[in-house]
């Protein structure tokens, strides 16, 4: 156990976050996401929701400020989004403060980007369109 690091962040996830460079992407995926067949390293966080992991990770992770840092899957034609899902994620990431927009991209474009992601973290999340991609930015020197 480490001080100030949430116990929701496994040693493997902590290693991945540290290894990622600026511009690398990580996906926090729902339980239905085809993570293992897409190719990048896959981590399991079956006891956590996406919101819980976002809240745990964001204090350790600088979002990209030069390119859209957040992306979620757009609904397929005829389907609807539950706005509460994005609201939960925004609250976990920004704690009620303004933050960058979440880009919505086509399902297959999301899968294509997922193939190039640094890692995919599969959670117990069951919300429809409950996957979110974070792009790592440059950590500022203090």
Greatest alpha-carbon pair distance for the chain in Å reads 48
Question: Which domain does 103 fall in, by range?
Answer: 22-135
Which residues pair with residue 104 across a beta bridge?
72
Q: Is 107 annotated as a binding residue?
A: yes
pTM: 0.94
In a domain, 8, yes or no: no
3-state secondary structure 48-64: CCHHHHHHHHHHHCCEC
Q: In the prediction, which pLDDT does 39 show?
A: 81
Any idea what the CATH number is for the domain that residue 113 is in?
3.40.1650.10
The residues with which 73 forms a beta bridge, in sequence order, are 105
Residue 30 annotated as binding site: yes
* Residue 139, pLDDT score: 82
User: Residue 3: its pLDDT value, please?
Assistant: 87
pLDDT, one tens digit per residue, over 108-132 is: 999 999 999 999 999 999 999 999 9
Number of domains in the chain: 1
131 is in an annotated binding site: yes
What are the catalytic residues?
22
pLDDT exceeds 90 at position 141: no
Residue 55 has a pLDDT of 98
Answer yes or no: is 6 within a domain: no
Residue 72 has pLDDT above 80, yes or no: yes
d(CA 53, CA 37) in angstroms, rounded, equals 22
């Amino acid at each position: 156990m480490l001080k100030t690091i949430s116990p929701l962040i496994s040693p493997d996830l902590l290693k991945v976050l540290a290894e990622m460079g600026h511009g690398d992407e990580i996906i926090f995926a729902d339980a239905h996401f085809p993570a293992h067949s897409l190719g990048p390293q896959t981590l399991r966080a079956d006891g956590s929701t996406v919101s819980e992991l976002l809240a745990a990770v964001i204090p350790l992770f600088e979002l990209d400020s030069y390119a859209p840092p957040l992306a979620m899957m757009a609904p397929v034609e005829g389907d609807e989004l539950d706005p509460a899902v994005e609201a939960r994620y925004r609250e976990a990431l920004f704690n009620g403060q303004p933050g960058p927009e979440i880009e919505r991209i086509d399902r297959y474009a999301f899968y294509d980007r997922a193939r190039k992601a640094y890692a995919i973290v599969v959670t117990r999340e069951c919300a429809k369109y409950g996957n979110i991609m974070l792009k790592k930015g440059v950590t500022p020197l203090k």
